[in-house]
Structures are given as structure tokens and as C-alpha cells.
Amino acid sequence: MKSWGLLLVAALALSGSYAVDRNNFKTCDQSGFCKRLRGFKPEKSEYTLNLDTVLVHGNVLSAEVDTVDTSTQERKVLWHYAMRLSALVDGTFRVEIDEVDPLYPRYRTQLALNGEPKADGLKLLSNENGKLTLANSQGHKVVITAAPLKIEFLNQAGDVAVVLNDNAQLVVEPLRVKKERIDDEDGNAVEVEEEGTWGESFKSHHDSKPRGNEAVSLDFSFPDADNVYGIPEHTDKFALKTTTSGEPYRLFNLDVFEYELDSRMAIYGAVPVLYSHGPKHSAGVFWHNSAETWVDIVNYADSTVVSSLVNLVTGGQKRRVDARFISESGIVDVFVFLGEKPSDVFRQYVMLTGPAPLPPKFSLAYHQCRWNYVDEADVRSVDNGFDEHDIPADVIWLDIEYTDRKKYFTWDPLKFPNPAEMIANLTSKGRKLVTIIDPHVKREAGYFLHEDATELGYYVKDKDGKDYEGWCWPGSSSYLDFFNPVVSKYYSERYSFENFPGTSKDVHIWNDMNEPSVFNGPEITMPKDCRHYKPPQDGNDGLAAYWEHRHVHNEYGLWNIRATHEGMLQRADSKYRPFILTRSAFAGTQRYAAVWTGDNMAEWGFLAVSVPMCLSLASAGISFCGSDVGGFFKYPEAELMTRWYQAGAFQPFFRAHSHIETKRREPWLYDPATTALLRDANRRRYALIDFWYTLFYEHSVDGLPVMRALFQEYPKEEDTYTIDDQYLLGNKLLVRPVVEPGVSNVKVYLPGSATRTLWYDVDTYHAYPANGYLTFDVTLSKVPVFQRGGGIVLRKERVRRSSALMADDPYTIVVALDANGTSEGSLYIDDGETYEYRNNKYIYAKLAYEPSAMTYSFVNDKASYPTRSWVERIVIAGIKNPPKTAKLVQGEKQTSLQMTLHKGNDVLVVRKPAASMAQPWKIIFSY
């Protein structure tokens, strides 16, 4: 929604300068552990595996790893660590390194994984010359060199795909007892510890660091990689850049007011997963840690990397990327993915953290938001505006002003006196409402949430154990400690229809500001020495009694949305699928919520960056992503607004939103020609609503990105590795949004084989052979979208007010033929909102076209759904040798069909087959 600094906006709008205030946010040098560890570059790692301690049991190798003082002859052991290497199913390994006997337990990230990872077999193949060789049941190998410790992972092809600690940057700072202060004769403290160990300051904020330094770090090398990707959320390119001459990429969930483009600064989300890719293979690592993290990248092919370093590290081989993760606390806990294809590594990550469940169908349609729709009359007029202008829309959103003075779970009694009736008015047209619920709680006497939380001790505590107080939208606020299961349960119950009066199953939730945003906190968030709940069984005195915010920061929002999700399930007896939008994101967020890219600006650069930002999030399991259409700050002129609607119509989460101080901009407030273009963009989205729904169904099963980078489907094609201004939807549509002002043509890369792959312009059905870059003419109404030859896409072309009203509408089936004259696709249908699909009340069908016949068949024939949809038309593009007759066979029924051939573009239209989509069918062609 919005961030701290709101008061500045008006002034800035006048001066015309919008820019992030970098002074509010730390650089690596201002972050104690980043500075300390980034500077640590030993020639040789101090970490050594003690071969006498190696034990292989089940899928786990355990061994002691020691740090050894190599400066003396007698190899003095400095510290003892426990290492575990586990083999997991699907080409995945896990490496954990913790202290053998830490002073207090070190934090292990709790919510990212979707349950215990599944074990694979692990066999020790050899133990000789200081090296251990192991293999899992699928033939992936691990070679561990004991001294200094180095771990190499080999894929099934026998290639080394990932190496740990090749650059000697493994560090686990041991927890220590604070030394007593020592004074000199004049009573001044003598420096007994490195400065900053037991406290550090940033601006006016002091972090007390009661546990001292506890950072961890490890480097990863990816031989044969051209690029690395992932670690969202940043505004940089999808392919990550070498960081040696600047700041590392930072992962720390922050509410960054007016965030900037092309930046490695942290913003709202942090997902510590990184993938490598080159022509030989893909690989990946997931750094399972929820503390503040910085990531350095060295790509040896980058011109900024000096050749002497390339020679030193790789012997002149430029195809290699190194990465290094540095986190403030926790343990070393890393999952290694051995691919070998891009889709394998994406799947390997998602199977650990869980695929996104099937969303309710309306959430894939168009959303209308503004800070704020001010009262019920405003909501009514916006709702009616869509009907008056024949623009489909599914959801109206309410930002913070609907509440009774920022007290969540309440309504402003004057502006929203009849929420139930307002909502019933929306639902009568198949529309929904989304209301915002932020995690900060107004500290106001008489507010039930504040009184309960105070009385029951549900707030996050400050460093001294008192309720932490910060400043947010309501003024003085406190924050629920969702890490306590009792608090999460209490919070979930707030979402019941009784506790949130006026709401119904058609009210869905937006959890914003959940990094968490604290206007007067360090870096606009919660102080790191705040205290969170810790289960008492881990020890309950002193520092063992609680976690500090520093340990859990990046997963705070995940705990928030998980409790919301649970509450939305419970409010309707787990009958209906919740929709939640979150701003902060971490590994696993996709299990509960969609993510948007936060407070962007009505500028062309922010439209453009929506693509790489969502590609990066999608690679990290979060496919349900979009940007504020039109831009949040500032006002988009007609052309930018048009291009943003056109782009948004082809991104997973499609919501227009705007700042309270900007001019109103509902689609009909532009000139009629622009309104017509915005209407057209929305109608394009609705025509493809079942295509989107099918993609998200398949995504809920296979976890693969819905919005996908070209290299995922064309991994050998090197030109695709850095393309992030176009993308694929599933493997069927290729989208190149127009994100530049005033252009009459754009470059589009058409991947595949020039002799075999065809791409059909979806507006003209003209087929273009895959041929690398092509310059494509565009007008203001044209966005290059291509359907892959060989892919079938289903459309619904009747214009309705909302997606719910389209449920029974007929399909137009668009069959784009490949060079062999064949094509295939899929379709998912269910009631769009319940979990009845789990009881086999759905249709998942394959469509296949061959010159002799077209078939519609159910993948699971135990499942069915009584849809009233039927086939209105089949468009077959790219037909060389049209059939003479066509006959529909469905059940007992046989019908001769009419066809029309549109010469010139080789399109055959089968008219009104009228086949029911509730049953399989077949159309037989004869020649």
C-alpha cells in the first residue's frame, strides 16, 4: 500500500523529485556482520572435517568439523562444529553446520519448509586420501575433502555442479560469554572485544546484541554456469550481476519508501534461493536462514572481473559463477539442487517449500484498488462504473481508511455503516471485496485487540521484556507475536464472521506492512533486539528463553499470513479457498498468499521492472505476483496507463492501485480512446481466465513457474539467458509487453528451432518461425503475444461483468499447429471457490489435435464436474491441408460440423460444434 514518508509526498510532487532516502538503510559497511565477514577472505579455510568422526546412518552423514589454528605447528583446535549431510529425494542434498555445544540453541528457521524433507538413500563409496565419496540412490555424488573442508556435488552426468567452501568463506561465529569490563588506572574501559561485538548503532538506534556476534557465511561455486538467478526481491535484472565493485544483494524485509530501480537494496521480500544455469546444466542452493542476509556474486564472464582473478580461480575458464551468503545469525543450513534442467531445480526448491495451492478463480481476474475508496457510496459508484463502461472487474479493495481510525477488524461507523449490505451488493454481480488488515495494533484504551493483547501478553517484547511500542499508521502501535501458537490462534479467530462483523466468505484479506513496517524503528522496521516467543522445551532462562527479532525477521510476515490463512479457513469450516495478498515475502510464502511488488511509481521504468521482479519471485516459488497497475505514486498519463493495463493483463496478479494523494484514475476517467484501450486489456484478461486458472491448477501440482523465463523452456539457447523483458505463460504463450513510451516497434525474441518451432500472433494467427530476434510493429492497441505452434489455448469471448458470471459461457478453442500439424493443451474446471475439487468434483482434461481427429479426454476419469460450458468454435491456425468433413462424436451422439476456411492465413474455423465440456468428445476429420 504505502510507506512511511507519506507526509513528504505532497512536497515531493511539487518539486518533482522522487527518490529513496538511502540514509535510512544500511550499506554492508554499516551492517556490523556484513562488514566483518565480507572482509574475511582467508587463503585457506580453517574448517577441517575430522575423518575419525564420520558416521553414515540412513540418509545422513554426520561428522565433526573443527576450526584449526594453522599458524602454529601443533594444529590447535579452536572450535568444534557438527556437520550433517543428508541425501533427499529428487536430486537434493542438505548440509547443516552448527556448533557442537552452543552456549544457547542457535535459531533454526521454522516455517519455510513444507514439512520434513523426504529422505533418499546415501552410500559411502570411498574414504581415502582425505576424501570421502558418497552417492544417493539416483547416482548424484558428493565428494568431501577433509582439510580444508570442501564439498563438491556432482550431477548424474558426472559434472561438478555446485561446490561449497571452495573460496574458504565458511564461517560460523561461535556464541560466547561476554567478557567482564576491564578498566585501566583512569577508570576507562580497555577494549577487550572487537568494537560492535556487544552492541552497534545505526543513526539514532542502538542494537544491544545480547548474544554478541553470531554470524554465518558460506560460499558456493557453480562451474559451467553462465548466470545465476533468484534471491528476490530486488529491482535489478533477472540475471544477477557481479557485486565486487559495489554493494552485495541484500535480503532483509523492509518497507522502503520510493524504492529505486536497478538496485541491490533490500525491499519487502527476501527469498534466499539461488539458481545457476549454463548450456550444460542448472543447479541451485537454498540458504535456509531467516536473518538479515547479504549475497555477493562473482560472474567470471563479467567484464568487471579482472582477468588475473579469472586466471587464478578458474584457470582462465570464464564460465563460472561464485556466490557467497552472509547472515547475521542462525546456523549454516543449505539445500543443494542438482537439476539438471531449469525446471528441475525450480521444482526441487518448490517441493521443499511447498507449491502454491489452487487460488479461488476470482483472484486471477481484475482487481480495483485505491487508497482509498472513501465510503460506501464511493464503493458503489466505482462498482457501477465498471458496469456503465462495460469493463469486467471482480474485486473492489479497501485500504486502511475503511477502519474505525486504523483499528483493524472494525469499520468506520460513519463511512461504512452497512458493510454487509455493501458486500451483498458486490456479490450480487459476482464481485468480491478485499479489506486490508495490517499486523500493527493501535494502542488505544478500549480497543479490544489492544486490551486482549496487553492483558494476555500477546505482543512482541522489547529488549527489556516490556511490550514493544512503535509508530505506524494508527500512531503508537504494538505488534502481535505470531511465533507464539496461542497468539496465532487468537489472531486467526479474529477473522471469524462474528469477530469481524459484516464480513462473509466473499471478503478476502490484504496483509500489508508485515515486514514489519515500524515508522520510527531502525531502517523502518522492528529493532533486532526485540523478543519473540520460543517454545519452553528449548530451555527457558536468560538468553535461551526467547528469540530475538534478528533471528526471525525475514519470516515474521510468513507467520502473519499463515495465521490469517488459518483464520480464513476456519471462518467458513474450511469450505472456501482464501485469497490473501502479502507485501513481505519469504521462502514458503506461496503456500498462503500472493505477492505484489509494493509501492512502485507511475514511471516507465517501474512498468518495465515488473517483469524481472515477478520472474525472480516466480523462480522462488511465488508465481502469484504482480505490480500496482498504473503505478502507486504519481499519476500515469494515458499512454503509460494503457501499457500498464496491457502488461498487467498478462501478469498473474492484476490489480490497479493508487496513492491517496494522486488524481483518481478509474479506467473511465481517461479520455474515451484510452478507456477503450483499458477495457480491451481487461477483456483480454477475462477471455483467458480459464487458461490462467488451468495454469494455476497445474502450478499447484508441479510447482513450476506460471510466468516463466524463456531459458526454462529453451535451456540450451544462450540468447535467452539474459532475456527478462519477455516471458512465457506456461509453455504456450509468449508475452512481450510494451514498456517503452512512443514506440512503433519492439524487438521480440522467438525461441526454438527455425525449422520446427512456430509462434502465432494471437491477434492475426500469422505464424512466425522461431528465428531469434524479430522486429515487430506495434500500435497503442497492440501488444506482441504469441501462441506456440503445438499449443492449444481456450478462450471465453462473451463479455460479462465478472468472472463468476462467465462460469457457464462457451469456449473458443484456439489450436495453433506445429510443423507436424499437431497440437495439445489442457483445461481445468471446478466451482472456482471451494475445496470440493479434493472430492473429485473437477475436470482436468487434455485436448489433442491431430490431422485425423481432435480429442477432449479426462486425465482422471473418476473426477467430473457438471459444467454447462460448451464449445462454440474451434479455430485451427496454420492448417496446410484442410479436411473436407468433420464429425463430432460425444457419447451416443454424432453430429456433422460446418467449417470455414480463411485462406491467406491458413485458419480453419469449426463452427458451433456445441460439444458439452462436461463429457469427453472427439471430432473426426476426413480428407
Ligand X SMILES: *[C@@H]1O[C@H](CO)[C@@H](O)[C@H](O)[C@H]1NC(C)=O
Q: What are the residue numbers of the active site? A: 512, 599
Residue 398 binds ligand X, judged by CB under 6 A: no
Residue 425 binds ligand X, judged by CB under 6 A: yes
- DSSP for 72-104, written as a single string: STT-EEEEEEEEEEEEETTTEEEEEEEESS-SS
Rounded Cα distance, 881 and 39, in Å: 68
Contacting ligand X (CB under 6 A), which of 818, 830, 872, 906?
A: 818
CB of 647 to ligand X, least distance (A): 29
Which grid cell sits at 668? 473511465
Rounded Cα distance, 176 and 213, in Å: 8
Q: Give whichever of 224 and 376 is closer to ligand X, judged by the CB atom.
A: 376
Q: Within a 10 A sphere around the Cβ of 861, how many other Cβ atoms?
A: 9
Contacting ligand X (CB under 6 A), which of 376, 515, 529, 809?
A: 376
Residue 56 binds ligand X, judged by CB under 6 A: no
- Interaction residues for ligand X, span 767-806 (CB under 6 A): 790
Applying CB under 6 A, the span of 767-775, 815-823, 830-838, 899-907 interacting with ligand X comes to: 815-823
Q: Give whichever of 183 and 421 is closer to ligand X, judged by the CB atom.
A: 421
**CB contact set of 824 (below 8 Å; sequence gap of 6+):** 790, 791, 792, 846, 847, 848, 849
**CB contact set of 149 (below 8 Å; sequence gap of 6+):** 45, 47, 48, 49, 65, 165, 170
* Residue among 334, 336, 339 at smallest CA distance from 156: 339
Rounded Cα distance, 710 and 155, in Å: 23
CB of 871 to ligand X, least distance (A): 24
Applying CB under 6 A, the span of 67-75, 273-281, 421-429, 638-646 interacting with ligand X comes to: 421-429
Written in H, E and C, the secondary structure of 757-769 is CEEEECCCCCEEE
CB 720 within 8 A of CB 708: no
Applying CB under 6 A, the span of 64-72, 150-158, 419-427, 681-689 interacting with ligand X comes to: 419-427
**Number of residues forming the site for ligand X (CB under 6 A):** 11
Applying CB under 6 A, the span of 147-155, 194-202, 414-422, 795-803 interacting with ligand X comes to: 414-422
- DSSP for 621-649, written as a single string: T---EE-EET-SBS---HHHHHHHHHHHT
* Residue among 370, 872, 387 at smallest CA distance from 630: 370
CB of 383 to ligand X, least distance (A): 9
Residue 262 binds ligand X, judged by CB under 6 A: no
**Position 387: which residue type?**
D
CB of 125 to ligand X, least distance (A): 38
Which grid cell sits at 210? 545480547
CB of 868 to ligand X, least distance (A): 28
Residue 381 binds ligand X, judged by CB under 6 A: no
Q: Give whichever of 230 and 791 is closer to ligand X, judged by the CB atom.
A: 791
Q: Give whichever of 419 and 737 is closer to ligand X, judged by the CB atom.
A: 419
Rounded Cα distance, 467 and 456, in Å: 11
Q: Give whichever of 203 and 756 is closer to ligand X, judged by the CB atom.
A: 756
Residue 502 binds ligand X, judged by CB under 6 A: no
CB of 849 to ligand X, least distance (A): 12
Residue 380 binds ligand X, judged by CB under 6 A: yes
Q: Give whichever of 200 and 818 is closer to ligand X, judged by the CB atom.
A: 818
In three-state secondary structure terms, 134 is strand
CB 402 within 8 A of CB 435: yes
- Total residue count of the chain as it appears in this document: 927
CB of 791 to ligand X, least distance (A): 11
Applying CB under 6 A, the span of 248-256, 305-313, 616-624, 817-825 interacting with ligand X comes to: 817-825
Q: ∠120-121-126 over CA atoms, to 5°? A: 135
CB 835 within 8 A of CB 574: yes
Q: Give whichever of 286 and 373 is closer to ligand X, judged by the CB atom.
A: 373
Residue 820 binds ligand X, judged by CB under 6 A: yes
CB of 303 to ligand X, least distance (A): 38
Residue 193 binds ligand X, judged by CB under 6 A: no
Rounded Cα distance, 26 and 32, in Å: 10
- What does each C-alpha distance from 789 to 75, 753, 842, 853, 902 come to in angstroms? 65, 12, 28, 17, 18
Rounded Cα distance, 480 and 216, in Å: 28
Exposure of 746 in the CB half-sphere (CA atoms within 13 A): 21
Q: Give whichever of 396 and 587 is closer to ligand X, judged by the CB atom.
A: 396
CB of 846 to ligand X, least distance (A): 16
CB 32 within 8 A of CB 200: yes
CB of 786 to ligand X, least distance (A): 15
CB 213 within 8 A of CB 178: no
Q: Give whichever of 177 and 414 is closer to ligand X, judged by the CB atom.
A: 414
CB 762 within 8 A of CB 733: yes
CB of 734 to ligand X, least distance (A): 16
Q: Give whichever of 152 and 399 is closer to ligand X, judged by the CB atom.
A: 399
Residue 108 binds ligand X, judged by CB under 6 A: no
**Position 213: which residue type?**
N
- What is the C-alpha radius of gyration for the chain, rounded to an integer number of angstroms? 29
CB 853 within 8 A of CB 924: yes
Which grid cell sits at 485? 501458537
The single residue listed with the C-alpha cell 499437431 is: 822
Residue 421 binds ligand X, judged by CB under 6 A: yes
* Residue among 3, 558, 533, 593 at smallest CA distance from 254: 3
Which grid cell sits at 735? 508475452
Contacting ligand X (CB under 6 A), which of 369, 422, 748, 774?
A: 422
CB of 814 to ligand X, least distance (A): 18
Q: Give whichever of 380 and 405 is closer to ligand X, judged by the CB atom.
A: 380
Q: Give whichever of 147 and 819 is closer to ligand X, judged by the CB atom.
A: 819
CB 669 within 8 A of CB 381: no
Applying CB under 6 A, the span of 95-103, 159-167, 321-329, 812-820 interacting with ligand X comes to: 812-820
Q: Give whichever of 196 and 769 is closer to ligand X, judged by the CB atom.
A: 769
* Residue among 150, 214, 171 at smallest CA distance from 78: 171
Rounded Cα distance, 136 and 140, in Å: 6
CB of 403 to ligand X, least distance (A): 17
Rounded Cα distance, 157 and 137, in Å: 14
Written in H, E and C, the secondary structure of 813-841 is EEEECCCCCCEEEEEEECCCCECHHHHCC
Mark residues 110-149: x for contact with ligand X by CB under 6 A, - for none. ----------------------------------------
Applying CB under 6 A, the span of 82-90, 188-196, 416-424, 496-504 interacting with ligand X comes to: 416-424
Residue 418 binds ligand X, judged by CB under 6 A: yes
Mark residues 742-771: x for contact with ligand X by CB under 6 A, - for none. --------------x---------------
Applying CB under 6 A, the span of 420-428, 760-768, 846-854, 896-904 interacting with ligand X comes to: 420-428
Applying CB under 6 A, the span of 555-563, 601-609, 816-824, 893-901 interacting with ligand X comes to: 816-824
- What does each C-alpha distance from 378 to 372, 387, 410, 899 come to in angstroms? 9, 15, 19, 49
Residue 819 binds ligand X, judged by CB under 6 A: yes
Q: Which positions lie near ligand X, rule CB under 6 A?
A: 376, 380, 418, 421-422, 425, 756, 790, 818-820
